Amino acid sequence: MNWQEFFAMGGYAFYVWVSYAITFVVLLALVIMPIIQRKQFMRQQTLRLKRQENP
Amino acid sequence: MFLIPKPVGKFFHRMASPPYFYDFTGRLIPWLSWIFLFLVIAGLYGGLVLAPADYQQGDSFRIIYIHVPSAWMSLFVYVVMAIAGGIGLIWRIKLAEIVAISSASVGAGFTFIALVTGSLWGKPMWGTWWVWDARLTSELILLFLYLGVIGLYGAIDDKRTASRAVAILALVGVVNIPIIHYSVEWWNTLHQGPTVTKMDKPSIHISMLWPLLVMAVAFKFYYVIAMLQRARTELVVRERNSQWVKLLLESK
């Protein structure tokens, strides 16, 4: 099997690859978002702590 | 609780302590991620490359390797969420509340994926993106239940109260789970019946089956990883004024 045949998915390329792409995007977003939020929150809190210590 | 072995009980007892949970999950997640990556590569290779095309559906059947695991997980995560919510409701364990609400967004994601990939599979096979039949409609209600849980949690400022409200909603919604599962047997539907869970004689060839099972396990690992990431964020936000979070911030 060559690459072209693989991507063509027997004529169902649109349905198969859109399915996989949406799944990939949703699953990636759901694991990345909480990490970004946590980092942002930690940064804010560190600044808040510093302000409290030496106003 | 005499049925639970002592070390297991001890482990859960320690995991209920926020700093221990935060530290332990922080070290656990990289291991889970490597196992997940290995499984997902093996599953995708088996499903997209090794498995032969279906004699009726051609290559479109390959959507099964994300559609079915997502659909299974949408039910599994809901049950975990309801049980964790119930534990939080009865024993007021903060970590159980956090596991419950952290499961909601991941479960909603799986439900969304199951619906969208099902639609993308239905179009070439059934000739329609959507039908209002029992399986599809009950799965859509599941998505609304997840969104209801997330919305309700966000609407109540006091997170302990919010967790209790969410747990009750989640527990009431459990009634939808058997409806989804048995919908293809109770009602006439376009959706095909179970192919895998008929364990005595699954109507799917082994070369098509093993990648599906590997993907199902991979999605379980994904759920634990994504849920723990969400839980760790939820935990530090809720515990922002506690000593251990302050120590954590100072150590950075």
Among residues A26, A3, A12, A38, the alpha carbon closest in space to that of B231 is found at A38
Give the rounded distance of the alpha carbon of B226 from its chain centre. Answer: 9
Structure confidence at residue B89 (pLDDT): 95
In a domain, B36, yes or no: no
Give A11's contacts in chain B (Cβ within 8 Å): 58-59
Q: Tell me what the mean pLDDT of segment B80-101 comes to.
A: 96
Residue B47 CB contacts under 8 Å (≥ 6 apart), including other chains? B62, B64, B65, B211, B212, B215
> A2: pLDDT confidence band, cut at 50, 70 and 90?
confident
B160, two tokens = 């302990």
Residue B58 CB contacts under 8 Å (≥ 6 apart), including other chains? A10, A11, A12
Give A15's contacts in chain B (Cβ within 8 Å): 60, 63, 120-121, 123-124
B62 min Cα distance to partner chain A (Å): 7
Structure confidence at residue B130 (pLDDT): 92
| Lowest mean pLDDT across B108-112, B226-230, B239-243 | B239-243
Find tokens 């299974």 and name the residue: B72
In a domain, B27, yes or no: no
Under DSSP, the state recorded for B225 is H
Across the interface, whether the CB atoms of B59 and A11 are under 8 A apart is answered yes
Residues of chain B above pLDDT 90, percent: 76
> B11: pLDDT confidence band, cut at 50, 70 and 90?
confident
pTM of the predicted structure, to 2 decimals: 0.93
pLDDT, mean over chain B: 92
In a domain, B37, yes or no: no
| In chain A, domain spans | 17-55
- The 10s digit of each residue's pLDDT in B33-77 is 999 999 999 999 999 999 998 888 889 999 999 999 999 999 999
- The 10s digit of each residue's pLDDT in B180-233 is 999 888 887 778 877 766 555 667 888 899 999 999 999 999 999 999 999 999
End-to-end CA distance of chain B: 40
Residues of B with CB under 8 A from a CB of A: 48-49, 53, 58-60, 62-63, 66-67, 70, 105-106, 109, 112-113, 116-117, 120-121, 123-124, 222, 225-226, 229-230, 232-234, 236-237, 240, 245-246, 249-250, 252
Across the interface, whether the CB atoms of B222 and A31 are under 8 A apart is answered yes
- From residue B227, give the alpha-carbon distance in Å to each of B101, B102, B108, B169, B192: 9, 5, 12, 19, 31
HSE-CB at B9 with a 13 A cutoff on CA atoms is 6
Among residues B162, B26, B21, B158, the alpha carbon closest in space to that of B95 is found at B21
Give the rounded distance of the alpha carbon of B239 from its chain centre. Answer: 25
Give A49's contacts in chain B (Cβ within 8 Å): 246, 249-250
Structure confidence at residue B196 (pLDDT): 66
Helix (H, G, I), strand (E, B) or coil at B61: helix
Structure confidence at residue B250 (pLDDT): 86
Structure confidence at residue B96 (pLDDT): 96
The total of other beta-carbon atoms located within 10 Å of residue B129's CB is: 12
Name B54's bridge partners. B58
The ipTM assigned to this model is: 0.93
Count structural domains, chain B.
Answer: 1
CB contact A39 to B (< 8 Å): no
User: Containing domain of residue B75, as a range?
Assistant: 67-251
Across the interface, whether the CB atoms of B59 and A16 are under 8 A apart is answered yes
Find tokens 């109540």 and name the residue: B156
Of A15, A27, A29, the CB nearest to B123: A15
Residue A34 has pLDDT above 70, yes or no: yes
Name B58's bridge partners. B54
Residue A52 has pLDDT above 90, yes or no: no
In a domain, B151, yes or no: yes
Under DSSP, the state recorded for B58 is B
Whether residue B98 contacts residue B80, with contact meaning beta carbons closer than 8 Å, is answered with no
Structure confidence at residue B229 (pLDDT): 98
